[in-house]
Every structure is written in structure tokens, then in C-alpha cells.
Amino acid sequence: ELTFLSKREILLAYKRFSELLPKEERENARTRRVPKSHILTLPELRANPFQHRICHVFSTSEAGDDSMSFEDFLDMLSVFSDSATSDIKSHYAFRIFDFDNDGTLDRKDLEQLVNCLTGQGEESRLSSMEMEQLIQNILEESDIDKDGTINLSEFQHVVSRSPDFASSFKIVL
């Protein structure tokens, strides 16, 4: 009841989660944590430029190792499901893009965001002038209160004008 997933999807998620554990731990998958390194082997995350941030945002690990419990895994899949609302998706997208976890997207967050999207290679990296121009354009478009950062409501406002956001912010098992 606390998820956007159907019973069938939850059962499939449990199967996928338990397969990430060593054979001898699979029987008790509900009480185990899967290391981040194993979560990142999922094909759905392997090619995602935000894979590390996704693990960080959805992990409830007190050790800070970004490992996931089955509940964390379900929360992640629920947010990335087709049934999740745009508000929920945009809230988590904002948290994923907020690299320093300070509740706003500032210039540093936007630079990291652009670098994730364009790749870290020399041939794909933007020049400092191109980066500055792009960040300036993003802020002009999104920073409604002109404080030099994008807060959650400003981010959600921008996302609400993007019809393909919800359909592109998903993981299908």
C-alpha cells in the first residue's frame, strides 16, 4: 500500500533483489542489505550517469555506505515506476541532482549535473565558457526568485513544463 508497484512488480523486485545477494543469504533477503557495488550491477542502473546519486538518495544505511535494504530497493523502484506521480518523481530528481545535499541546486550542483550528462571525457567536456553560459541559461530559466540557486518548488515548476519528464524518469524491471 505504500508503493506505486503492483503485487506482481513487488514479487519481481524481491526476486531481483535477492539475486543480488550471495546464495547463502537469499533466504533471508528481507533482512539483508545489498552493497552498493551489487546494486550498480543492475542493467537498469549500469548505464545511468546518476547511478551513485540514486543509490545515495534511496539508501537508509546508517553506515553511509549506500547499501540498500529491500525496502530501500522497493522505494527506488516505486519512484521510478510509471505509476509514480510527477510530484514524487520531481522531488526525487531534485534530491539526486542536489549533489551537496543542501536543499538547493547551486552553480556547483548544476556543473556536476551537466558533467554527468555530457560525460567526463575530454572530447565531451564543455569549455569553462560554455559551462558558464549553460549554467547562466539554466538559472535565467529556472531561478524565479533570482537568488542564484534553484529550490525544489522552482525545479518542480520547470519540470511541470516538460511533458516527457515523467516518462523518462523511470526504471522498468
Q: List all residues 6 or more positions away from 62 whose beta carbon is below 8 Å from its beta carbon.
A: none
Q: What pLDDT was estimated at residue 58?
A: 98
Q: What pLDDT was estimated at residue 15?
A: 96
Q: What pLDDT was estimated at residue 166?
A: 85
Which of 11, 135, 28 lies closest to 143 in space, CA to CA?
Answer: 135
Q: What pLDDT was estimated at residue 19?
A: 97
**Could you tell me where the DSSP H helices lie in 80-151?**
86-97, 107-118, 128-142
Q: What pLDDT was estimated at residue 173?
A: 75
Q: What pLDDT was estimated at residue 119?
A: 79
- How buried is 151 (Cβ within 10 angstroms: 0-12 exposed, 13-18 middle, 19+ buried)? middle
- How buried is 63 (Cβ within 10 angstroms: 0-12 exposed, 13-18 middle, 19+ buried)? exposed
CA distance 135 to 142: 10
Q: What pLDDT was estimated at residue 8?
A: 96
Structural domains in the chain, CATH included, are 7-80 (1.10.238.10), 86-169 (1.10.238.10)
Each residue of 96-111: b (16+ CB within 10 Å) or e? bbbbeeeebbbeebbb
Mean pLDDT per 10-residue segment, the chain (173 residues): 93 96 94 97 93 98 97 97 94 98 98 89 84 97 97 96 89 80
CA distance 6 to 47: 26
* Phi, psi at 69, each rounded to 5°: -85, 170
Written as nine digits, the cell of 131 is 559551462
